[in-house]
Amino acid sequence: MNTTYVPADYLPILIQMGLALGFIVTTMLVTHAIGPKRHSVKKDDPFECGIPVQGDARTPISIKYFLIAILFVLFDVEVIFLYPWAVNFKGLGMTGFIEMVLFMGLLLAGFFYIIRKGVLKWE
């Protein structure tokens, strides 16, 4: 099948993107223009789940928090690669099996490395 695309083929996509962007901008401008503008000390006070505000919001956070969050995302993304492999397991044959064993081996090596380094120890 030898098809060539011309710029006019992308016109419906550009129109839809333009309409979506126009709707967003119009909605934001209209709600800002006609919305209530009542300011008071109580209304402008930061609100956090019904808990009174204490201290500064810019206190330093331990790097451990961010490391664990990044590691969670890293090891959670592996499921994205495992699911298609499991669905097409029979069709991939021995080559697909060896590739997945290699993938899981590298993943486990990384997991053992972070355990050995003590990244998951929360102090």
pTM: 0.47
Give the integer Cα–Cα distance in Å for 95 and 53: 58
**Predicted local distance difference test score (pLDDT) of residue 30:** 96
Domains in the chain with CATH codes? 8-36+59-117 (1.20.58.1610)
Share of the chain above pLDDT 90, in %: 28
The answer for residues whose C-beta is within 8 angstroms of residue 53's C-beta and 6 or more apart is: 45, 46
Render pLDDT for 12-28 as a digit per residue (tens, 0 to 9).
999 999 999 999 999 99
pLDDT band at 43 (very low <50, low <70, confident <90, very high): confident
Give the integer Cα–Cα distance in Å for 96 and 103: 10
**Predicted local distance difference test score (pLDDT) of residue 2:** 67
Task: Kindly state the tokens that stand for 85.
Answer: 């492999």
